[in-house]
């Protein structure tokens, strides 16, 4: 089980790092949108939340790939 977790989590972690770098190279969270006349204050939490959401989606994708790669006898 630990091996399977690492097979899913490590590649998804690396892809999330690359996606975070690409996303925040294009979007500067320190210059966020204006909402009803007041400026939204962005902080390090924006980067952290963005990274963990990207990691979650990448991990779900990797887990689905592992699941679909199993033989039908292994699923039962």
Q: Where are the domains positioned within the chain?
A: 38-76
Task: Please tell me the distance from the alpha carbon of residue 20 to that of residue 22, in angstroms, as a whole number.
Answer: 5
H or E stretch at 47: helix 44-68
Task: Please tell me the distance from the alpha carbon of residue 25 to that of residue 68, in angstroms, as a whole number.
Answer: 33
Give the residue carrying structure tokens 């006898």: 73
How does pLDDT run along the chain (76 residues), one tens digit per residue? Answer: 788 888 888 999 999 999 988 988 887 666 655 544 444 555 667 778 889 999 999 999 999 988 888 888 876 6
Query: What is the DSSP-derived secondary structure letter of residue 29?
Result: G
pLDDT given for residue 12 in this prediction: 92
pLDDT given for residue 31 in this prediction: 63
pLDDT given for residue 42 in this prediction: 58
């Amino acid at each position: 089980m630990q091996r399977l977790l690492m097979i899913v989590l490590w590649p998804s972690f690396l892809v999330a790092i690359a996606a975070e770098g690409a996303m925040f190279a294009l979007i500067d969270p320190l210059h966020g949108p204006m909402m009803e006349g007041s400026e939204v204050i962005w902080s390090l939490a924006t980067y952290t939340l963005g990274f963990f959401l990207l990691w979650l989606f990448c991990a779900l994708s990797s887990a689905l790939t592992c699941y679909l790669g199993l033989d039908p006898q292994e699923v039962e």
